[in-house]
Amino acid sequence: MNSEKKLIKILERFRDKLSNQEIALIDSLVKIPKTMQDSWDSSDISYKLFTDGASQLDKNNAGIGGLLKNGHETVFSFAENIGDCTNNEAEYLALIRGIELCVEKKILDVKIFCDSELIVRQINGDYKVKNERMIKLHAKALDLCSMLNNWSVSHILRDKNMEADLLSKEGLTK
């Protein structure tokens, strides 16, 4: 892959962190295809994926849950038991499962919301991932994101993520 393509791939990954002024500057230095510039404006994305994980370490039990919405309509939801893992692992596994379902259903333009600030900051490259098990989950999540055409991952307050939270708790009981 030549250096221009590498730069474009990096820009796609961090597009939501760039201002219009920064994009214009980059465009003046590197010829970025117009269709890609247009895809950076994710304001037209109506699909929103909400994910959450829950863990009961004392019971060696964890659950994941999530839902995809298009406006007020729920497109799909999931609640699964994933056995023994930490809460952070459950958060990643919920994110991974949600993206897998989006890819399976060919919904490739998605805004993703998680109430785990750690996971969001790691996915967005703000925090390093140090734990060996988390490194694998982080890599899998990014690999899946690369299958999406247009995506962003944002932190959402827990009280705004209640549906996904309830689904993850439902996963604990399965």
The residue whose two tokens read 């962003």 is 152
Instruction: Quote the tokens at residue 123.
Output: 């996915």
Please report, for residues 5, 32, 111, 112, the alpha-carbon distance to residue 70 in angstroms, rounded to integers and kept in the order given.
32, 30, 11, 12
CATH number at residue 123: 3.30.420.10
pLDDT for residue 29: 64
Segment 146-173 mean pLDDT? 95
Same domain, 7 and 48: no
pTM: 0.75
Is 60 exceeded by the pLDDT of residue 33?
A: no
What are the beta bridge partners of residue 161?
Answer: none
Spell out where 96-135 has E strands: 109-114
Same domain, 76 and 113: yes
Instruction: Quote the tokens at residue 145.
Output: 């994101």
Same domain, 127 and 168: yes
pLDDT for residue 34: 46
Please report, for residues 14, 31, 99, 135, 138, the alpha-carbon distance to residue 130 in angstroms, rounded to integers and kept in the order given.
21, 36, 23, 7, 10
Instruction: Quote the tokens at residue 109.
Output: 């333009």
Q: How far is CA 35 from the centre of its chain?
A: 22
Residues 68-95: tens digit of each pLDDT: 999 889 999 999 999 999 999 999 999 9
Q: Sheet containing 47-56: give its strands across.
A: 73-81, 61-70, 47-56, 109-114, 150-155
Same domain, 87 and 124: yes
Is 50 exceeded by the pLDDT of residue 148?
A: yes
Is the Cβ–Cβ distance between 120 and 88 less than 8 Å? no
Helix (H) or strand (E) holding 8: helix 3-13
Query: How is residue 146 annotated by DSSP?
Result: T
Instruction: Quote the tokens at residue 132.
Output: 């060996």
Is 50 exceeded by the pLDDT of residue 101?
A: yes
**Residues spanned by the domain of 136:** 44-173
Same domain, 57 and 28: no
Same domain, 97 and 129: yes
Same domain, 149 and 65: yes
pLDDT for residue 31: 55
Is 60 exceeded by the pLDDT of residue 32?
A: no
